[in-house]
Amino acid sequence: MTINDQDKQLYLLICKESIRAHLNKSELNKKLYEQLLTNEAAKQHTGLFITLTLKNQLRGCIGCITSSKPLNQTLPYFAIQAGFNDHRFTPLNKEELKDIEIKISILSAPIEIESYKKIKLGVHGIIFQSNEHQSVFLPEVPTEQGWDLETTLQHLAKKAGAPPHNWITASYQVFESTVF
């Protein structure tokens, strides 16, 4: 999926505007939303994650790996979810809005790999699956944490609530992301 600089600016504005409108209990800027609705790239169905940081600290991160809805619907939705419904954090407040940084990760479709040894840290996002246990990391997580492959997979197992050594026999899917 090709996203140009103009698209990226529009998507970031929509996310910030969606959060602002939710905080103020007002409607989205209609002109901006119309631009999103007519944006060709935003008509595509793809997974995405919205990550919010405040003073370089995670403040919210919510998204989906795949989507039956187009970006022009999921961008505003997940911006609001990341700001107000990430159970790890209190909802954003008006004072934080001016300093919040928004990062959007647009995901490629996940593909099954035959061995965890095929995972390229920093390139692949990883979906861990072991019986009923499942978890995911975006591509940047292991490199930001300074983890090697084994440590990354151990953290995925832990995040999924799986037994510690399940990472060895788990199945994996990988995806790539465009981050801005």
pLDDT digits (tens, 9 = 90+) for 87-143: 999 999 999 999 999 999 999 999 999 999 999 999 999 999 999 999 999 999 999
Q: What percent of the chain has pLDDT over 70?
A: 99
pLDDT band at 28; cut points 50, 70, 90: confident
pLDDT greater than 80 at residue 49: yes
> How deeply is 93 buried, as exposed, middle or buried, from its count of CB atoms within 10 A (0-12, 13-18, 19+)?
exposed
pLDDT for res 138: 93
Q: What type of residue is 53?
A: T
Q: What percent of the chain has pLDDT over 90?
A: 95
Number of CB atoms found within 10 A of residue 122's CB: 10
pLDDT for res 131: 93
177 CB-near residues (< 8 Å, 6+ apart):
49, 105, 106, 107, 108, 125, 138, 139
Mean pLDDT, residues 25-53: 94
Mean pLDDT, residues 134-161: 95
pLDDT band at 1; cut points 50, 70, 90: low
Mean pLDDT, residues 139-151: 95
Phi, psi of 178, deg, nearest 5: -100, 120
Contact predicate 72/43, CB 8 Å = yes
**Number of residues that make up the chain:** 180
pLDDT greater than 70 at residue 51: yes
Helical axes 30-38 vs 71-84, angle rounded to 10°: 130
pTM to 2 decimal places: 0.87
Mean pLDDT, residues 158-173: 94
With CA atoms as reference, report the closest residue to 110 among 128, 127, 88. Answer: 127
pLDDT band at 38; cut points 50, 70, 90: very high
